[in-house]
């Protein structure tokens, strides 16, 4: 346990060392370029000599301040980048490009932008410098936000193709399995599929990066993976959140307890009565006791205890009182006396059994 912790802290300290040096090197060059170019680069990327952190500004915001068009701001930005790259001191940051490139290469030649930031720059105040270096380096290519992918940076041209192949194969498997997967199982499946498709064994670090980048596969709050549209993966509203909790707990809960679990497990404040009103209207949920809900997919059906008894007798034929109580309790959380009370609505045979 402690040796693992040392590795983690060592990695963080190493990255912090790099980022402090990144900042120092960038700040020195920024001071040497023309004042307006320096100001626009600083404001566009959130970097500034002598300032620990700064809000990144849009082309429109800067243009309005200077009284020029956004296109003119872009031109000045590009010229500033060119001046920065032509500085005699620029050679001193080449080693930093190699460090960043090595990291992205080791992770499949592609890394989701926000994960790249947090991995290489644990302290937020240094993250703008990392993104600025990515903008400057010839080996780094930016892929903006899209329908399929979160924003990412790549170093290898073929990486997006591999990412699509991995993710499409996993989506096909998950649609077939129709269940959530643990991380280890997901990685094993992806590795096996890629061996079949590409005839090569992809390292797990590559597969992880490709899954992190896609919007089609997500990790739910319990560390399980599935297709992002599944409600148990990406809950959208209280009904989906209740569904996720019930699926995870695998047993019915009172709506007040469900509201508490949503707060505890999903960090979402939910009014119990609001939740109750949402569940009672939704066909996914069945009221199986006083204020207690289960999932229809577990085999629960709508109706009163009387309705449940009728369906049981319709399916099974004549049954004894004990047999009916046992079957009803699979459908409803009620006392034996409540079930017996409802047996008065059904015929009793000479063999002391009940029938329709």
Mean pLDDT of 49-53: 50
Mean pLDDT of 318-339: 93
Mean pLDDT of 37-63: 82
> With 60 as the cut, is the pLDDT of residue 1 above it?
no
Spatial neighbors of 345 by CB under 8 A, at least 6 apart, are: 306, 309
Q: Where are the domains of the chain?
A: 2-154, 159-227, 238-298, 305-355
At 197 the pLDDT is: 86
- Range from 92-101, 121-130, 204-213 that averages highest in pLDDT: 204-213
Q: Which range, of 68-82, 116-130, 177-191, 197-211, averages the lowest pLDDT? A: 116-130
At 14 the pLDDT is: 53
Tens digit of each residue's pLDDT (9 = 90 or more) over 10-23: 344 455 546 677 88
Q: Which range, of 26-40, 52-66, 188-202, 323-337, averages the lowest pLDDT? A: 52-66
The CATH class for the domain spanning 2-154 reads mainly alpha
At 23 the pLDDT is: 86
The answer to whether the 2-154 and 238-298 domains have the same CATH topology is yes
H or E, element range at 143: strand 141-143
Residue with the bigger pLDDT between 20 and 251: it is: 251
Tens digit of each residue's pLDDT (9 = 90 or more) over 68-99: 999 999 999 999 999 999 999 998 888 889 98
At 3 the pLDDT is: 32
At 320 the pLDDT is: 95
> With 70 as the cut, is the pLDDT of residue 53 above it?
no
Q: Nearest CA to 154 among 216, 107, 202?
A: 107
At 92 the pLDDT is: 84
Q: What is the CATH number of domain 238-298?
A: 1.10.10
Tens digit of each residue's pLDDT (9 = 90 or more) over 211-246: 999 999 999 989 999 999 998 899 989 999 999 999
pLDDT band at 250; cut points 50, 70, 90 = very high
Spatial neighbors of 274 by CB under 8 A, at least 6 apart, are: 238
Q: Which fold has domain 159-227?
A: Arc Repressor Mutant, subunit A (1.10.10)
3-state secondary structure string across 58-99: CHHHHHHHHCCCHHHHHHHHHHHHHHHHCCHHHHHHHHHHHH
At 261 the pLDDT is: 95
At 37 the pLDDT is: 92
At 63 the pLDDT is: 94
The C-alpha atoms of residue 28 and residue 288 are separated, in whole angstroms, by: 69
> With 70 as the cut, is the pLDDT of residue 54 above it?
no
How high is the mean pLDDT of the chain? 89
Structure pTM?
A: 0.77
> With 80 as the cut, is the pLDDT of residue 210 above it?
yes
Computed from CA positions of residues 185, 187, 190, 195, in that sequence, does the dihedral angle turn out positive or negative? negative
Q: Which range, of 16-20, 46-50, 118-122, averages the lowest pLDDT? A: 16-20
């Amino acid at each position: 346990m402690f040796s693992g912790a040392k590795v983690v802290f060592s990695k963080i300290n190493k990255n912090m060392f790099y980022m402090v040096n990144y900042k120092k090197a960038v700040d020195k060059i920024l001071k040497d370029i023309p004042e307006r170019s320096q100001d626009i680069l600083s404001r566009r990327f959130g970097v500034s000599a002598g300032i620990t952190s700064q809000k990144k500004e849009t082309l429109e915001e800067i243009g309005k301040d200077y009284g020029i068009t956004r296109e003119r701001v872009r031109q000045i930005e590009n010229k500033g980048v060119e001046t920065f790259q032509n500085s005699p001191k620029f050679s001193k940051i080449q080693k930093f490009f190699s460090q960043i490139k090595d990291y992205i290469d080791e992770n499949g030649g592609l890394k989701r932008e926000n994960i790249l930031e947090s991995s290489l720059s644990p302290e937020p105040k240094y993250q703008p410098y990392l993104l600025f270096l990515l903008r400057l380096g010839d080996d780094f290519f930016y892929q903006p936000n899209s329908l399929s992918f979160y924003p990412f940076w790549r170093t290898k041209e073929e990486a997006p193709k591999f990412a699509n192949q991995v993710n499409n194969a996993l989506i096909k498997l998950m649609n077939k399995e129709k269940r959530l997967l643990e991380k280890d199982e997901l990685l094993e499946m992806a590795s096996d599929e890629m061996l079949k498709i590409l005839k090569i064994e992809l390292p797990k670090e590559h597969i992880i990066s490709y899954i992190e980048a896609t919007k089609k596969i997500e990790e739910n709050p319990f560390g399980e993976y599935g297709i992002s549209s599944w409600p148990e993966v990406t809950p959208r509203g209280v009904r989906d959140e209740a569904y996720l909790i019930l699926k995870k707990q695998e047993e019915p809960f009172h709506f007040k307890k469900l509201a508490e679990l949503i707060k505890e497990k999903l960090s979402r404040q939910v009014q119990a009565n609001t939740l109750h009103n949402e569940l009672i209207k939704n066909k996914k949920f069945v009221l199986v006791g006083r204020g207690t809900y289960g999932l229809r997919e577990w085999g629960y059906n709508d109706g009163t205890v009387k309705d449940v008894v009728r369906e049981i007798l319709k399916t099974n034929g004549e049954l004894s009182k004990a047999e009916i109580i046992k079957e009803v309790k699979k459908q409803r959380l009620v006392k034996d006396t409540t079930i017996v009370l409802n047996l008065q609505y059904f015929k009793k045979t000479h063999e002391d059994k009940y029938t329709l």
